[in-house]
Amino acid sequence: MSNRLAGKVAIVTGGAQGQGAAIARHFVAEGAKVVIADVADEFGQALADELGADAHFAHHDVSDEDSWTALVESTNERFGPVNVLANNAGILRFADIEKMTKEEYLLLVNVNQLGTFLGMKAVARTMRKNGGGSIINASSVEGLAGMASLTGYVATKWAIRGMTKAAAMELGPKGIRVNSIHPGMIDTPMTRPHGGDAAMEFGASRVPLRRVGYPEDIAPLYVFLASDESGYINGAEIAIDGGVTATHAFGG
């Protein structure tokens, strides 16, 4: 690796497994100090141990504002001021509109949408006072289009897309860039339980590249957006989906 993130201090939410773990590994490999934030203590601590002194695990609930305050303060004390936030944490739930409960819907809102907002709020002051930074919000291709039986998930991912653009306008003059990434079907512990190999094979058949994505496909985009190489990219929405959003419903 080339130390593209030397001098960066990053928080990666949902960092214990899957896409978040790949992001954390790539960040450390590129020279960043990383706090892995997650509710999955065993996986998160194991990853921090694997990555060594440049990584630390912190138990963190993204829907809890006090947890965010404590996370940013402890990161600042351990590694220095936060200048990269990978707002990666999220959950996925399939449910038809008529069957989805209010509680299920609000759980998606609290983790995916509120968690993203609270993260931006928590790091904005530190970044503003210390020369700026980069916030990378994880939306989805479902933040660019709709999908049946995913109304709650889709709503939160569109919200993240919109919040990203509003935050980019507000925080850009303060030296803080805010962008959203929109992964397609990625083989992770979040997606695989919903249909297993059969779902992955079907998903691959609908992708122009004829394969699903993997966490290692996504992490390099986070590195780029966290680095100074992307210094003039702000308020962007970047699909990383094998070409799924390049066509319409009748495409193949």
Please give the positions annotated as active site: 153
Amino acid making up residue 228: D
**Is 190 exposed, middle or buried, given 0-12, 13-18 or 19+ CB atoms closer than 10 A?**
middle
Q: How far is CA 58 from the centre of its chain?
A: 17
Q: What gap in Å lies between CA 95 and CA 45, rounded to an integer?
A: 32
Q: Look at residues 74, 54, 63, 222 and name the one whose alpha carbon lies nearest to residue 135.
A: 222
Contact 164, 180 (CB under 8 A): yes
Q: What gap in Å lies between CA 30 and CA 71, rounded to an integer?
A: 22
Q: How far is CA 252 from the centre of its chain?
A: 28
Q: Look at residues 20, 11, 1 and name the one whose alpha carbon lies nearest to residue 124.
A: 11
Q: Cα separations (Å) of 112 from 55, 81, 200?
A: 24, 25, 23
